[in-house]
Each structure stands twice: as structure tokens, then as C-alpha cells.
Chain A
């Protein structure tokens, strides 16, 4: 394709990407560099149905004037990135100085919410992603080997977890494993322990979140691999069979290499999605046991009432950075494969 043609061809997509992806990211980055002006406070009496008290209020006029002069707030540089809610450099130095050994150092780090969330998010990503790849492929091969008459039904059933909205699916499961729900109450009966609760135990909660993650994203991997299986060249399969390869050997040496580009694609998508895990944490009410960077962004923007834009912005930028780091090995691999094919 000529460069000129290519340019006009890509222009609509490119401009949409600049407008809706690049510019917002730049704006988020700029916001993350500023914090609010020093608030001008006044003490005044406030009265209501329950009597009067002396309370501090914001002097709105004085604060508005400050805001008008410099609408973005006070420049704070990258300090927000290194504060206690994010990379916590000062706190880590402190933990390093006071810790007595490896375990107390780890305890100290795990007390910082950013690292706690990172540990959960990475565990979730690296457990769910390979499991989804393996089970997705297994289901795809299974369905592909079914007699034609059953395939339609099997595909439909396998896709169901994907069709149920995340929030609905996890809500239903959350109610079922509740201490008062069918699974939770049955477990309590079986083990005869009324204090047994999935929602009260961090390890059980993590396991449930990951099981849910696998269940929910499996169909995506399945349907992609199933589509790929339709394109496996029949003559290669035939040749393998003639050479005496059994089903398993054919699978490993013919089918999987053929599907490799799809595996890279699915891995990329899964890594990105899993690193930003959010809805299951909300609907399982798992905040006590598992947080992710996404839940921090939401709580900075919503829970605080008056949003903490700098903090939310910094967390967003760190999330993007995390995704980039995760994807780099896969991207490098894809790039190498591509070059190898060209030459």
C-alpha cells in the first residue's frame, strides 16, 4: 500500500485514538502533577436540629480567589506518585531501616495499600491467564471433536458465562457463597462449623475470585481457539497421522504451533483485562481481602466526595505503566515472530 493511501485509510481511526485515548491520558497525567491549593479555613458556629457547635469551614471566597489565579492547583511534580497511597518511597525506606528480617520487611511492605493491591492483582493475573488459556484450548478441542449435531448447543452453553454480565454473574455467585446462601450454608453444615465463611477468609476469597475469573473469561479464549481450529490444515494433520503420531502428539506438534498467533493475542487481552480486575471485587464485596488499582481509582474519585484527582490520576498512570510492563514480553515475542516470517 502506498504511504499516502495508508495515511488516508488510517486517519479516522488515528484521529479517534488521539481524541479519545491519547489526549485523555495526557490530561490525566497533567492532573496527577497538581494538588489542591492550601484551603483557607475559618471557624464558625453551625447550628441545626441537634444544637450548635463551633466547626471549621472552608472560606470559599478566599479559596475561589486562589483557584482563579491558578486553576490547576499547586504544582506538586511527581510527589503524588511517591506518596503513601502510591509507591510510598519514604515509607519503604522507613520499613527497610526498622525491619529486623525478611518477614518483618515483607509485613511492612504489605501494610502499604499499593503493594498489597499489586500482590493481589499480579497473583490474579498470573493464575487466571494460564488457566484460561489451557482450559479454553481444552474446551475448544473438545467441542471440535463432538459430532456436528451437538456442536451448536455445546458452543452456546460454553459461551454462557461470557454472556452473563460480569456484575450479575459475580453477584449471583456472591449470594450463593454467602454464609446465608446455598453454598455457604451447605459448607457450614458439612463441616459443622457455623463460623466457616468464605467471605471472612482471605485465602478462600482469593480462590473464589480466581475461580470466578477463570469461569467468566474462559469463553473468550474458547471461541477464539475454536475459530482457529477450523483453519488447521488438514493435509498436515493427515501427514502427522501417516507418520504415526498419536492424538496428543498431533495436538502438541501441529495444532498448538498453528494456533500460536491466537495464543499471543488471547494472552495480550487477558493480561490487560486481568490486571485491571474490578467488577468481581465490587460484587463479591471483597474489599476487605482483595483490592486492585482500579478499586483505588474509583474510591479516590467517588468515595472521597470531593474527588482526589491527583491521586486517581497517579494511580491511572501507574496502571498503564503496569500493563505496559506486563505486555512487553508478549509484544517482543510477537515482533520477533513477525520479523522471522518476513525474512
Chain B
């Protein structure tokens, strides 16, 4: 479905690609202060906003850094807030909304957002809370040359096929550990569980409540699936996050990987790797598991928000500046830096994996107020299972107990 949309959008963009766009920057002489994570797509969006509207603003600052989620709530709490806008993703929007730190954007969208697609608007309870500009998800990376050499036909589509292919690669003596995934203790361990839990049909919470629901047959199946992959993954996997897995991939030390789509551009470009690796790397949909049809992935978006605790006119100028950059011109310049949700995106090879994963019906990462607490509990309590110290049932029972403790303290459970 998304593929179709993307293709259609591409055609439309071809027609209107060269339309000149005069930026409307809203009230002049106001203060625009942007906080965001430091990666190429956000640099492009913030840069375009600055190029269009810095002259119109009284103050225009951009602060892009790592780990913004650790400090964004603190930065937006005072009145006036430190920043007029934070560039967020699914989980960080939840984090800001839990403390009521962002404002509805409906009136600004009506005034400055005619060029936005309806699907870019993140609407919660009928109010637009963010405007998304790019999508991301985990998916499969494969080295076609290695798979061919080991006698594997085609690209694996299910976890079972990946495991079988990995066994062939190992048996052929090509690599001892052909699979890499982000299994670093903490956030990444939690996220990997989410992927395979959703793929096995699990729901993290009992419907309509904050009661945990992971100690279930789906949870045990998910852990079994992950363990089958870990048999063939690098022995240091519990310390691997995106930078480590990307490094192993670019060094040619893996044949199959579950990595983020946003790494696709960096993996496929001509830096940091050899031609042998890049020319044989294929990005495809995340695998399904246990005979299900849902890909083992969570869909993410990145988008702009506007802070609540700032003067209205600053808010208006901030929104106008940021959305002024979300145009086909931006994509012409930065097409391969992200899987853009902006009207007119042409999906290249680096975007193929995310597009295929979304089209296959992967679930979006849930925007539930207590999701972070569950994610943390998964990230810390499942480690004993992966190290072989605990059974799946024991580990999942520990997850629920740890989650309950935190959720009680945060006021979600009594």
C-alpha cells in the first residue's frame, strides 16, 4: 500500500518538482529555537528551515545532539521553554505529551501547511500534535554473494529461512556468525523483543489497561525466535548497537542483519566499506516469524512539534519555519538521506527495506504513555534469558514484576 503511495507520489512530484516555492515564515522578528537528534535527515530539515526563515526571525538557533530524549522534557518544562520546537519520534512524542509539553498544531497547519499530506499529520484525540517527515523501521539486510555461495536461493523472508540460510553459511565454512542484530543491553534488547513479539501476534498490554501482557505464549514464542537467531550471531551481541552492527556489516563480517532502515544510506554509500559489500547488499522487508504474516519490525516516524510553554507568536513562527522546509526541493537535494514522507518521494535502494516492511503490514511503535516503562523492563530483565541463566517464563515474569514496580511509581498502576 505504501509502495503504491510512494510510486504515485513520485509521479506527482515529477510533474510539480520544479515549482518555485516562496517560504511563508509567519510573524517576523520572533524567536525560533530548534532541538533535535543529530542525523543527516534532521540536519537537512533544520537547515532548510534556517535557510528559508532565519532572515525573518529575530533569533534562530538549531541544537542537534545525541540523546535528546534524556533532556527534552526538562528543556520544555520551564515557561518560557528552552526550545520552541523539538524534533521527535513516536516514543518521544509520548514522553512529551505525558508531561503536557507540546501544543496542538491545527490552526498552524491550516495556515502554513497546505503542502503537507494528511498522512503526515500525527493526530491524537482529533488534534494534530506533530508533523511527520520521515519513516524508519528495522528490516533485513542480506549479502547476496555470500548467500549464493552457500547455496541459498533468493532472499530469506521468514526467521526460519534466515536460520536455515545461516546454518548453510556456517556449514559451508564461510562464516561462523553470519547474523548481526542490535542486541545491546537496555533499549535495544527491549526493541528486539518488541519486533518478534509483534510478529508472533503479541500485545504488550491487556486491552484498555496498563496491565502487562508479555508473559504469554506469544512472549515465549518471541524469545524462542530470537534465541534461534542468536545461535548464529556474533558472540559479543549483547554489546552491539547500531554503530557496531553497521561496522560489522561494512567490514564484510556478516551475511544477514536486522538493522534500522535509516542506516541503509550509510551502508550503501561509497564510504567505510568495500565495493564487494555494498554492491551485494540488498535491503528487504523484515522477516515474519512462526508462520505469521506480520513482519518483525516496528514502524517509526520522525516529525516536528511545537512547545507549549512559549509565546503564541514564537510558536507560529517556529511552525512556519519548520514546515517551509518540508518540500520537494528538500528531497531533490537529500533524497537518499531518509525515507521521506513528504509529497514526491522517490524510494531508492536505501529505502526499499522500509517501504517493503511497511507495505507488508508491520505495526507502528505504540504511542502509549507507559510504553517506555515496559520497554525498559524488557531491556533489563530479558538479559538473564539471553545469557542462559533463566527460562523464558522466568524472564518474562521478571519483566512483568519490574514493569509493575515502575508503573506503580509513575501512577499508571495502583
Contact = CB atoms under 8 A, between A and B. Distances in A.
Nearest to A184: B236
Interface string B166-192: 000000000011000000111100000
Given A48-B132, A304-B376, A285 B185 contact: yes
Interface string B352-384: 000000100000101111001100100110011
A265 B38 CA distance: 45
Interface in A40-60: 41-51, 53, 55-58, 60
Contacts of A197: 235-236
A64 B100 CA distance: 8
Most buried by B among A286, A288, A305: A305
A36 B411 contact: yes
Given A179-B235, A311-B409, A46 B122 contact: yes
Given A57-B369, A84-B402, A180-B253, A306 B123 contact: no
Given A38-B411, A199-B238, A306-B372, A111 B384 contact: yes
A30 to B, nearest CB: 15
A304 B406 contact: yes
B383 A43 contact: no
Contacts of A85: 402, 405-406
Contacts of B122: 46-48
A200 B235 contact: yes
Contacts of B70: 302
B239 A180 contact: no
Residue with the greatest number of chain A CB neighbours at <10 A, chosen from B177, B235, B301, B405: B235
B41 to A, nearest CB: 14
Nearest to B407: A39
Contacts of B341: 49
B414 interface: yes
Interface in B69-99: 69-70, 73, 90-92, 94-95, 97-99
B154 interface: no
Contacts of A74: 411
Given A39-B410, A42-B125, A303 B95 contact: no
A39 B126 contact: no
B239 A285 contact: yes
A39 to B, nearest CB: 4
A195 B90 CA distance: 37
B299 interface: yes
A119 to B, nearest CB: 14
A36 B372 contact: no
B390 interface: yes
A46 to B, nearest CB: 4
Given A58-B98, A305-B73, A84 B409 contact: no
B299 to A, nearest CB: 5
Nearest to A86: B405
Contacts of B100: 58, 60, 63-64
Nearest to A43: B208
A195 B376 contact: no
Nearest to A34: B409
Interface residues of B, number: 73
Interface residues of A, number: 60
B124 interface: yes
A306 B238 contact: no
B90 to A, nearest CB: 8
A39 B369 contact: yes
B412 interface: yes
Contacts of B62: none
A299 B73 CA distance: 16
Contacts of A289: 387
Interface in B192-238: 208, 210, 234-238
A305 B409 contact: no
Contacts of A288: 185, 238-239, 383, 386-387
B121 interface: yes
B12 interface: no
B238 A305 contact: no
Nearest to A298: B70
A279 interface: no
Contact of A303 (B92, B186, B237, B384): B186
A179 B234 contact: yes
B368 A56 contact: yes
A202 interface: yes
Contact of A306 (B73, B120, B247, B367): B73
Contact of B239 (A46, A55, A199): A199
B187 A303 contact: yes
B125 A36 contact: no
A202 B389 CA distance: 11
A84 B401 contact: yes
A305 B405 contact: no
Contacts of B411: 35-39, 73-74
B34 interface: no
Interface of A: 35-39, 41-51, 53, 55-58, 60, 63-64, 73-74, 76, 80, 83-85, 91, 111, 113, 178-180, 184, 194-197, 199-200, 202, 285-289, 299, 302-308, 310-311
Pairs A-B, 6 closest by C-beta atoms: A44-B125, A60-B100, A285-B239, A36-B411, A197-B235, A287-B185
Interface of B: 67, 69-70, 73, 90-92, 94-95, 97-100, 119-126, 132, 135, 176-177, 184-187, 208, 210, 234-239, 247-248, 251, 253, 299, 301, 341, 358, 364, 366-369, 372-373, 376, 379-380, 383-384, 386-387, 390, 394, 398, 401-402, 404-406, 408-412, 414
